[in-house]
Homo-oligomer: A and B are copies of this chain.
Amino acid sequence: MKKVLLLPILLVILLYTTAFSQLNLMPIPAHYQLENGKFRIDTTFEISIKGNPNDRIYSAATRMLRQLSRRTGIYFHQDYITKASNSNSTKLQVMCKEPGLLKLDENESYTLTISPRQITLEAENDLGALHGFQTLLQLVSTDSLGYYFPAIFIKDKPRFPWRGLLIDVSRHFEPVNVIKRNLDGMAALKMNVFHWHLTDDQGFRVQSKIFPKLTELGSDGKFYTQAQIKEIIKYASDRGIRVVPEFDIPGHSTSWLVAYPNLASAPGPYKVQRGFGVFDPTFDPTNEKTYKFFDKFFGEMAKLFPDEYVHIGGDENNGKQWRANPKIQEFMKKHNMSNVHELQTYFNKRILQILTKYHKKMIGWDEILQPNMPKSIVIQSWRGIASMVKAAKEGYKSILSSGYYLDQMQSAGKYYAVDPLPSNTPLTDTEKKDILGGEAAMWGEMVTPENIDSRIWPRTAAIAERLWSPQNVKDVNDMYRKLRVVNLYLDELGLTQIKNYGMMLRRMTNGQNIAPLKELVNLVEPVKGYERYNHGITYTSYYPYTHVVDAARPESIHARDFNIMVSDYIGGKKEDYKILKSKLEKWQKSSVELKPIIKHSPILWEADSLNTEYQLTTKAGLEALGNLHNNVEVDSNWINSEIITIEKWRKPFANVNLEIVDAVKELIEAEKIKKN
């Protein structure tokens, strides 16, 4: 084991730049070294497990074997892996010293050694071994003799101990199977915290047996029973994933107050919110009944959720109800509180007392970082990395979500560039230790069970790599190369980002040929940030998220490929001409074929202008490409008028943008201008 620790930095860099491109490992391990030789995968491949691991390792090993079998079609002799599977002669030897505990800072390291005849996987505990299984599955390769693992030595451990995914199930409810398949995706990418945003203005999603009215009145019947919660926690635990529940208080709490208006800061009655935004209903922090309620509630939830952390939200409390309520104002005066933030801190401290009583630690959004909060809390930074730095400077532990908001529809490359601890961090080494990691955040306003996976994956894999791999892993192009492989891998696991894309296009075309629509939608991306709210529709939880924008992927890999190829071509890589030409011709053709399809499918009428933009843009691109290829000189007026036409049509139609417009403009502008 010491061997690798002594590897010169130079060799590591070399690996990243050369042998590297042969591997699809995501996230990239902390250290690895490719060796000569191949381990052949055949029917005799068998797994033994030794040591003293948690039982989760047996089902995980069996799942791994079956997944390998499904992928390769190889009919392994071994069926179920149990404690009895501990022979010395099997080809994969797994050794774990002790049972893994699902808690912050647990050792997740593993060492994987593949030689042509033997594989060994060593880990302190089963959590590390589970990561090793995922690495092994990503190493499956083929050659003319069949399937094999390359000989390799890997010594791996995560950079950050908190690598999370938040799923908001309040704005849109996500059934059990949606959560399960996303846990499978997380495990594949070595993520270890599922942050379950269970309550918000639009729905209260967890059954309370003490306060059944919470779901009876606050969920529209869409909630998880306690049996289902346990089922999901078990499923996560089986995959080495902690489950941190979020109960967002004192704001974002309309759905609670529907059932218990007497705990609100204004009289009510309240109705479950259907729309989105920041709403007024807020718990009354000056009412002792509020704390009696929370004492019972968190007592119940503390038993249901085994993780040591409970997330109390705490964000976006607008304070309106507090300022409007004379009793609350009086309370603030009496306690010398000069603003609502101080009142919220008072509330948070009272909640912290309750959580502490039930042996839970508190985590909350960065609003909870106020003077006088104890250092035991964890801050989740969403408003900017500055608040994370501030928290660390003040001695708080924190995690980063700012820059990882999946609902903002940014590119994988953009998320990949966000580092909780960039090389220029102003933090000292001691302060750095309080940066626990980060979380991708899938806010649920615009996502449904049909398209949520496509908003989470594969982009979250880039965040997973950022949080696991060493800081110097920064090759964006290689990340994108691997993202394609990961995307197919997730498809096999049951994630629906590819499957439901097809279904949504089929539904829109209503039995017609989907190919032309697919060509177009492959090249668009939803408008970024929260721009979609600005186009006249008041969205609600029952809006039909089945339009072009809802099917479109957050990032168009097809456009990215084209755009890079155009840059290369203009930069001198003339051999790409034919490919570019055939792409543009195919798109031209599809834009024509799409016209009658749109005509016969009213849900697509909104895409008519988009198709015109597509048609004009690809036409102009084809002409410019032809001119470039044939060295035709053109009039500068011609160039200007082409640009004007393209710009005129360059708009978000149907809430999406055509992502090849810049590249086509580059082609046009690269044309030679005729000398007068």
Contacts and interface: CB of A to CB of B under 8 A. Distances in A.
Contacts of A507: 70-71, 488, 491-492
A73 B492 CA distance: 30
A296 interface: no
A599 B496 CA distance: 28
Interface residues of A, number: 55
A147 interface: yes
A510 B70 CA distance: 12
Interface stretch (A315-323, A420-428, A541-549, A573-581): A541-549
Given A72-B602, A73-B544, A220-B80, A491 B511 contact: no
Given A75-B544, A499-B503, 15 more contacts: A66-B544, A71-B507, A71-B603, A72-B602, A73-B546, A80-B220, A80-B542, A142-B510, A146-B602, A175-B177, A176-B177, A225-B231, A488-B511, A491-B506, A499-B499
Interface string A257-273: 00000000000000000
A124 B144 CA distance: 67
Contacts of A144: 599
Interface in A526-564: 537, 540, 542-544, 546-547
Interface in A182-214: none
Given A74-B544, A221-B59, A511 B484 contact: yes
A546 B602 contact: no
Nearest to A491: B503
A72 B177 contact: no
B511 A79 contact: no
17 contacts: A69-B542, A69-B546, A70-B544, A70-B546, A71-B603, A72-B603, A73-B602, A74-B544, A75-B537, A76-B542, A80-B220, A176-B176, A484-B511, A488-B506, A488-B507, A491-B507, A499-B499
B499 A543 contact: no
Contacts of A74: 544
A489 to B, nearest CB: 9
A667 B318 CA distance: 77
Contacts of A80: 220, 542
Given A511-B488, A547-B73, A600 B221 contact: no
Interface string A488-512: 1001100010111011001110110
A139 interface: no
Identify which of A80, A176, A542, A546 gathers the most chain B CB atoms within 10 Å of its CB.
A542
For this chain, the copies found in one complex come to 2
A485 interface: yes
Nearest to A545: B70
Contacts of A14: none
Contacts of A508: 73
Interface string A435-446: 000000000000
Given A484-B511, A602-B72, A498 B491 contact: no
A79 B540 contact: yes
Interface in A423-471: 450
A71 B602 contact: no
A488 B506 CA distance: 7
A359 interface: no
A9 interface: no
Contacts of A498: 502-503, 506
Given A175-B177, A491-B506, A66 B542 contact: yes
A227 interface: yes
Contacts of A500: 499
A503 B492 contact: yes
A516 to B, nearest CB: 16
A599 B70 CA distance: 19
B542 A79 contact: yes
Contact of A147 (B79, B492, B502, B602): B602
A274 interface: yes
A44 interface: no
A484 B513 CA distance: 13
A370 interface: no
A540 B600 CA distance: 48
A601 interface: yes
Contacts of A228: 227, 231
B511 A485 contact: yes
Interface in A471-495: 484-485, 488, 491-492
Nearest to A73: B603
The 6 A-B residue pairs whose C-beta atoms are closest, nearest first, are: A499-B499, A73-B603, A177-B177, A227-B227, A69-B544, A70-B546
Contacts of A70: 450, 507, 544, 546
